[in-house]
Structure 1
Amino acid sequence: MADGIDARPHPVRWRDPRRLFWPLALLVPALPFLSWWVWHATGGWWAWWLAPVIVFGVIPVIDLLVGDDRRNPPEEAVPRLAADGYYRWLTYLYLPAQYAGLVLGCAVWVHDEPGPLGAAGLVATLGVVNGIAINTAHELGHKRERAERRLARIALAPTGYGHFQVEHNRGHHVRVATPEDPASSRLGESFWAFWPRTVLGGLRSAWRLESARLRRRGGSPWTWRNDVLNAWALTVLLVGVLVAAFGPAVLPLLALQAVVGFSLLEVVNYVEHYGLARRRTPAGRYEKVDPRHSWNSDRTVTNVFLFQLQRHSDHHANPLRRYQTLRSFDASPQLPAGYATMVVAALVPPLWRRVMDPRVLAHYGGDRSRANVRPPRTGRSGDRDGRFRRRRGQEPGVQAGSRPNAASSRSCSSASAGTSTPERTRFPSW
């Protein structure tokens, strides 16, 4: 205090411009109830297809009309923003709505006979809701608070994908954008080829990671402390309760919607890192993850519905950072549309490659060898690239001992300027 003037810094008077819009994310688990109401009002089987139409048709159109929002919260406001319980409760509230929709779907499947087309729409609807719930689990499961990590397992139970949290936190975040990561798609790899590789590879990786953790502690993987086994046990418990309530006739619905749900997660994984690669340093280790290693989108509407999952570069650099504080970086490669649109494109390989392959090559200045490239198949025309790499002694997506070009280095440096040091990427055990 000098001459009656308070010289202490005042808190930043910044208000989140999207604060009133974040609850829109809870419209997703409400979609089964919308379909049920429309179905009862009209009797049309098409009512059960409203959820996928809204998510993959209506939202992309609104996204296009609204456009991008690249604004970042000032760093001085981040501690207050991260501590605001309002944002946390929005993720919590997704879960009871998710489970209520699952119970409604089971009741309709068993008692109301929606017909073949209606039943297929019901499977798609529950799969979309529970697939997007994996994103909610993703947000919760990265936090230090034990209660949030437990809620993440509950959100994962309907899809039977509880092992995702082990593999994602301790596997994917370590190996992202490398040929060793089953969740990082490769240039030239279709989603349909990626799907079995990531589903099976992620499951194997989760089991190995958890088994190794328990053995380091002198134990066996066959214990209730195994986070893969106790997550699966939660799914078994959920299925058991639903079968007891509705009978075994509900089992096909539960199985089919689970496949749709975790496939939705995996197609998002496919979109997020397609063709992007971290290179090895002269010491033989992979370079640190930075904003260049994830595809981003600043489409406003989809970011609201997905708790800003599309700001994926900042998430990988700072996994503990809460969704409302994630930032957009100039160095991050940008998708031409939001995730909802890109998911549909990924299901059509020729369309996907026409849109994305040139963008991957442009990101690497036309040098295909710097990307994470699908290994060639012997005896096919694509083997030409493999012979070229072998002559140069390179792995797919890796340049041993190489350094980023000047433009890339400047881009990454400009993205990091003015940002805080990335938080540590150690994750507590569940």
Structure 2
Amino acid sequence: MTVYSLEMPDKGTITYRDNKRYWWLLSIFNPLLGFVGIGLHAATGNEWMLLAPLVFSYTVGPLLDWWWGEDENNPPEEIVPLLEQDRYYRYLTYLAVPFQFIGFLGLAIWLGTQELGLVGYICITVVAGLGSGLGINTGHELGHKSTKLERWLAKIVLAVPAYGHFWIEHNLGHHRDVATPDDPASSRMGENFYRFMVREIPGAYLRAWRLERQRLAREHKPVWHWHNSILQSFAITAVLQLGLIAVFGWIMVPFLLGHNVLAWLQLTSANYVEHYGLLREKLDNGRYETTKPWHSWNSNHKFTNLMLFHLERHSDHHANPARRYQSLRHFEDLPRLPNGYYGMFLVAYIPWLWFKIMDPALLQLKHIDGDLSKVNIDPKRRDEIVARYGNGKRPVQASA
């Protein structure tokens, strides 16, 4: 086990051991879970076995998060530079890229070479789509880094689910507008997952193209240029997915369409739970306050954090977006989710249950304390929410 040690003149020797160092391997093997379903299907002939990875993620995952509990450990700040310089952690994110392709292609080839009925076809499409949603998470981690290699790896891995616009939109749009009414990727109090979905997916896509057009214009280039980062990723998507159609025929078309949409919905699920109802204060100069840790819902649940490159320590990520996953911190008095992401996704898909759990939790946050003027509210449900929870303060106006 690697021990990081640093001599400080005023503090003596500071040491730190990352007890999760090798547990992070779960994040790179996560995209390969589809092979478990393939193996069980091959062994039993039962097409329902192809759903095993989905069952594991959405039943065993939340149970392990509940049983294993939360990790509030932080690396000492003095050690963080050493931790971030350790290339082992970086290599794991690099490896996750080819593993994402292997996991996706394994499922696509199994579909193309086996005599599957409708049940098997649907099962393998669902598992492939949800598995490729993990590629967006890998692209998220890589896309925030400043090296050319990591930026290119982000474009490459985002090509698997045809979501090449994500890192542009996320870095330059979502991180700028997060927890404000202007952000299509921040969910509002009273907005259910399905209404958020139809606002977030097209809104993020259009914002990405607007941002990339502006970037290229500053370089005196047209939007339809080979320097367009979105088009670069989409070109890889075209080679990958049209290649599968060329090899296996039209049977791939519904599979690929379903796979892409389900992968996008994985990201949308994460965006929905990460900022629900949270709001940055608008200053007198018309700008919003700097993003703080309490503008994101956080989760310290061990298992799914290890499966998702610490994505659930989202509060520190938004406050310090360049910080690498192994260094992300826990803070006291943060908005905290009651379970990891997979468990919260399931709750989000049942709107009445989500509202029952999360609306009171939102209003009880220390920095909100029941004040609706500090909440990002769905404009279509504002009157209803004010009637139910109103405290005489005017809630913020959100664009429809």
With normalisation by structure 1, the TM-score equals 0.86
What letter corresponds to residue 84 of structure 2 in structure 1?
A: A
Instruction: Decide whether the 8 Å contact of 2:41 with 2:50 is kept in 1.
Output: yes
Following superposition, the deviation at residue 249 of structure 1 comes to 2.0
Residue in 2 that maps onto 1:334: 336
**Which structure 2 residues correspond to residues 332-411 of structure 1 after superposition, within 5 A?**
332-363=334-365, 364-376=368-380, 382=384, 395-396=396-397
Q: What SS is found at the alignment partner of 1:103?
A: helix
- 1:115 corresponds to which of 105, 114, 117: 117
Q: What SS is found at the alignment partner of 1:59?
A: helix
Question: 2 CA distance for matches of 1:291 and 1:132?
Answer: 24
- 2:171 corresponds to which of 169, 172, 197: 169
- 1:71 corresponds to which of 70, 73, 77: 73
Following superposition, the deviation at residue 392 of structure 1 comes to 6.8
Instruction: Decide whether the 8 Å contact of 1:275 with 1:371 is kept in 2.
Output: yes
Instruction: Decide whether the 8 Å contact of 1:295 with 1:335 is kept in 2.
Output: yes
Following superposition, the deviation at residue 277 of structure 1 comes to 0.2
Instruction: Decide whether the 8 Å contact of 2:185 with 2:272 is kept in 1.
Output: yes
Following superposition, the deviation at residue 239 of structure 1 comes to 1.3
What letter corresponds to residue 369 of structure 1 in structure 2?
A: S
Deviates more, 1:70-79 or 1:279-288: 279-288
Residue in 2 that maps onto 1:182: 184
Give ranges in structure 1 of 5+ residues lacking alignment.
1-5, 399-430
- 1:128 corresponds to which of 121, 130, 153: 130
Question: 2 CA distance for matches of 1:306 and 1:33?
Answer: 18
> How many residue pairs end up in the alignment?
389
Deviations 1:318-360 (A, max 9, x none): 1111000000111321111111100110011001101100011
Instruction: Decide whether the 8 Å contact of 2:181 with 2:376 is kept in 1.
Output: yes
Question: 2 CA distance for matches of 1:165 and 1:33?
Answer: 28
Instruction: Decide whether the 8 Å contact of 1:291 with 1:331 is kept in 2.
Output: no
Q: What SS is found at the alignment partner of 1:350?
A: helix
Q: RMSD of aligned C-alpha atoms? A: 2.2
- 2:56 corresponds to which of 54, 63, 80: 54
Q: Give the greater-gyration-radius structure (CA).
A: 1
Residue in 2 that maps onto 1:313: 315
What letter corresponds to residue 283 of structure 1 in structure 2?
A: N
Instruction: Decide whether the 8 Å contact of 2:373 with 2:393 is kept in 1.
Output: no
Residue in 2 that maps onto 1:415: none
Question: 1 CA distance for matches of 2:115 and 2:266?
Answer: 26
Give ranges in structure 2 of 5+ residues lacking alignment.
1-6
What letter corresponds to residue 172 of structure 2 in structure 1?
A: R
Instruction: Decide whether the 8 Å contact of 1:369 with 1:397 is kept in 2.
Output: no
Following superposition, the deviation at residue 108 of structure 1 comes to 1.9
Question: 1 CA distance for matches of 2:159 and 2:387?
Answer: 42
**Which structure 2 residues correspond to residues 222-371 of structure 1 after superposition, within 5 A?**
222-363=224-365, 364-371=368-375
Question: 1 CA distance for matches of 2:231 and 2:33?
Answer: 31
Instruction: Decide whether the 8 Å contact of 2:35 with 2:107 is kept in 1.
Output: no
Question: 2 CA distance for matches of 1:103 and 1:300?
Answer: 29
**Which structure 2 residues correspond to residues 195-206 of structure 1 after superposition, within 5 A?**
195-206=197-208
What letter corresponds to residue 246 of structure 2 in structure 1?
A: A
Following superposition, the deviation at residue 235 of structure 1 comes to 1.1
- 2:44 corresponds to which of 12, 36, 42: 42
Q: What SS is found at the alignment partner of 1:25?
A: helix
Following superposition, the deviation at residue 155 of structure 1 comes to 1.1
